[in-house]
Amino acid sequence: MSMLSLRSHVPDDIITAADRLPGQADVVVIGGGIIGAAAAFHLAGAGLSTVLLEADKLSSQQSGRNWGFVRTQYRDPLELPLALEALALWPKLERELETTVGWRQTGCVFVAATQKEMAAFAGWHDKTRDIAREARLLSASEVTALLPPLRGRTEGALYTASDGQAEPVLATTAFARAAARRGARIVEDCGALAIETSGGAVSGIQTEHGLIRCSAVVCAAGAQSHRLLAPLGLSLPQQSVRSTVSLSAPLPPLSEACFCGFGIGLRQRADGSCIIAADSTSDIDLSLDSFRAARFFLPGLLRHGSGFSLRLGRPFIDDLHQRLAVPHRERAVARRPRIPANSRLAASTGAAVRDLFAGAAGIEIVKSWAGRIDVLPDALPVLDAPTEIGGLVVATGFSGHGFGLAPAVGRHVARLAKGEPAAAILAPLRLDRFARGTYSAPHAPL
């Protein structure tokens, strides 16, 4: 993959004229996660000259740090049509992208430890049975048959055999490499400072290393999206939470299906190693920025406070330093320190897996990491072309659900960037739902 790195400490004289930042493109995609990479792939495939900008490295943020679930199961009913569209595309991706993405159709199972959880699964199943036709409820005995190593009593489960899993970094880089083969320019270490407009329409992107003139922009910048949209008069009530994930050494078969239950999430990879995390448990690193749009999030925090841990530490100091020392529009590209994993949570999650599954007694945690999940008040993404700014497409706020949606999102982004009308399934994902007050509470805890 031909890529240009423009990290600021690289002397200008070692960047050849041919490698300089592109001065013009039809469309610029901001964000080198899987959403941005998939968008670039489809945009280049539509014949548009495309530049993909990433302030760090491809897949360096949440797209390379998530669980790797590809699920339709227990999605918000408003998001479910998009998830079903994406699931139909995943089995074809390796052929389309000409490389492996680690796709395996292993199913997904959510086990109910309590009658309350089982009632929630049954309610979702009843509401979505006409569209989520592969999902079914399992009795406690059926759970035992599906998961022989699982210890403890269950109340049943929700199971979708057609769901699956893939490897986050492989899938993200596969989209980017395929986009490059289609002619897209991929520029790493180059953050977007501002979206430039003229006459109410996009005219370019001001980057750390110069201006790229363009008539369309895709804002897929994850947790930095609100900073880029605010100067355009577009309010995005976006916050972020820190999620810790661990990788175990290979273990005997525990669960072929992606597993959630008893407070943990687990995905057993092809080599037997397991991606594990605490389910619906995240850290909120308090900063001055935490109070922006707090009114949108306070009701959910009060309802599900046990799932969040409020922490005051280094992020607060870093935020204060940025406000005092970094010009406002440069904060979107300020180099962020490594995101620390919650070592205590990683250890307790490993212990929970050991206790929950026969065969996991010798579990060894190889490494742990953390990622910042950008969240919106209803835990649904924004996928929209706001009428206020011609040529702008927003694809952000996926609230930890974006990995599995990416193949479909990329297609919709390309259509929106070409000026085509939004598909009906995108109506609940409009940006203005927050200004209009038409959003609802999250379907499940963030």
pLDDT of residue 243: 86
pLDDT band, very low/low/confident/very high, at 9 (cuts 50, 70, 90): very low
For residues 71-86, average pLDDT: 97
Determine contact, residues 111/99, Cβ cutoff 8 Å: no
Least confident range from 17-31, 199-213, 414-428: namely: 17-31
Q: What 8-state DSSP symbol labels residue 381?
A: -
pLDDT band, very low/low/confident/very high, at 14 (cuts 50, 70, 90): very low
- Is beta strand 239-248 parallel, antiparallel or unpaired with respect to 274-278? antiparallel
pLDDT of residue 371: 82
Give percent above pLDDT 90 in the chain: 72
pLDDT of residue 4: 45
- Hey, which bits of 305-406 come out as E strands? 308-311, 365-375, 382-384, 392-396
Whether residue 18 is predicted with pLDDT greater than 50 in this model: the reply is no
pLDDT of residue 60: 83
Least confident range from 189-203, 284-298, 381-395: namely: 284-298
pLDDT of residue 445: 61
Three-class secondary structure of residue 179 per DSSP? helix
Whether residue 282 is predicted with pLDDT greater than 90 in this model: the reply is no
- Assigned domain for 153 exists: no
Angle in degrees, 0-180, between the axes of helices 402-417 and 34-45, rounded to the nearest 10: 40
To the nearest 10°, the Cα dihedral for 105, 106, 107, 108? -120
Least confident range from 5-9, 239-243, 283-287, 306-310: namely: 5-9
pLDDT in tens, 86-128: 999 999 999 999 999 999 999 999 999 999 999 999 999 999 9
- Assigned domain for 120 exists: no
- Assigned domain for 441 exists: no
CA distance 360 to 252: 7
**Mean pLDDT score of the chain:** 88
- Assigned domain for 146 exists: no
Q: What 8-state DSSP symbol labels residue 425?
A: G
- Assigned domain for 148 exists: no
Closest-CA residue to 47 (of 70, 26, 77, 28): 26
pLDDT band, very low/low/confident/very high, at 297 (cuts 50, 70, 90): low
Domain extent at residue 355? 3-107+162-436
- Assigned domain for 125 exists: no
- How many separate domains does the chain show? 1
CA 405 to chain centre: 9
pLDDT in tens, 144-156: 999 999 998 999 9
The neighbouring-strand residues paired with 60 are none
CA 212 to chain centre: 26
pLDDT band, very low/low/confident/very high, at 213 (cuts 50, 70, 90): very high
**CATH number for 185:** 3.50.50.60
The neighbouring-strand residues paired with 216 are 27
pLDDT band, very low/low/confident/very high, at 35 (cuts 50, 70, 90): very high
- Assigned domain for 93 exists: yes
Beta carbons within 8 Å of 425's beta carbon, 6+ residues apart: 81, 82, 85
CA distance 17 to 65: 35
pTM of this prediction? 0.88
- Assigned domain for 298 exists: yes
> Looking at this protein, which amino acid is placed at residue 271?
D
pLDDT of residue 65: 82
